[in-house]
Amino acid sequence: MSSTHDIQAHGTHTQDRFQWRDTGLGFSPVTIALHWIVAALVLAIIGIEIALVASPNVELAKVLNLLGTILFPISAYRFWARVTSWHPLPLGTPNPVEVIVSRSVATALALAMVLLPVAAWLAKSAAGQLVEVPGGWIIPSPMHPNAQAAQVFDVLFKIGATPFVLGLALHIFGACKNHFVLKNDALKRMLGKRVEL
């Protein structure tokens, strides 16, 4: 009996230790780490975009390009992981409509963070702008300059960016509601804490 219990405990410990994908019981360490990396990247990108509108700066624009370049592959992996893994069960007994809305928003945000950097890259390339990053590196352009295509990609970027910012605000609102109003451990779970469902 004791040995069986030890084996089960060891198996659970091993499973927890090497949990690289999300399960119905919790987020993987990879998901948690990438969530906060992406959050930092997105907030930095939004901050730089605002700064560039106020005062154009070539070097700051290069940093923006670099952050977008880093964001794309991370977001592509996160979206793939999101749609191919079990999403952890919600804490407590939440309203089913809220669960559907929050998961839909989170999935849409994950997809937007894949598509928006691509749209920005295509818009700049079609406009004939060099996509430079710090260090003198230039990201290759996938197309020749085309004013009509540049206008289309720019419109697509703006169409996607507006609901993205609104969705991001809703996501942050939901996190704050869980933490300050409902007082559950949803935010703590995204900080790596093991919580009871």
Total domains, the chain: 1
* 8 part of a folded domain: no
* 12 part of a folded domain: no
So what's the pLDDT on residue 187? 85
Quick one: pLDDT band at residue 195, thresholds 50, 70, 90? confident
So what's the pLDDT on residue 91? 78
* 68 part of a folded domain: yes
* 6 part of a folded domain: no
* 175 part of a folded domain: yes
* 14 part of a folded domain: no
Q: Which long-range contacts (CB under 8 A, 24 or more apart) does 119-125 make?
A: 119/153, 119/156, 119/157, 119/160, 120/68, 120/157, 121/68, 122/149, 122/153, 123/150, 123/153, 123/154, 123/156, 123/157
- Predicted confidence (pLDDT) per residue in 27-49, tens digit: 899 999 999 999 999 999 999 99
- Predicted confidence (pLDDT) per residue in 46-55, tens digit: 999 999 999 9
Instruction: Indicate whether 77 pLDDT > 70.
Output: yes
Flag the least confident range among 32-36, 97-101, 146-150.
Answer: 97-101
The boundaries of the domain holding residue 155 are 20-189
Helices (H), 18-146: 29-54, 58-84, 96-126
Identity at 76, one-letter amino acid code: A
How far apart CA 102 and CA 8 sit, in angstroms, is 35
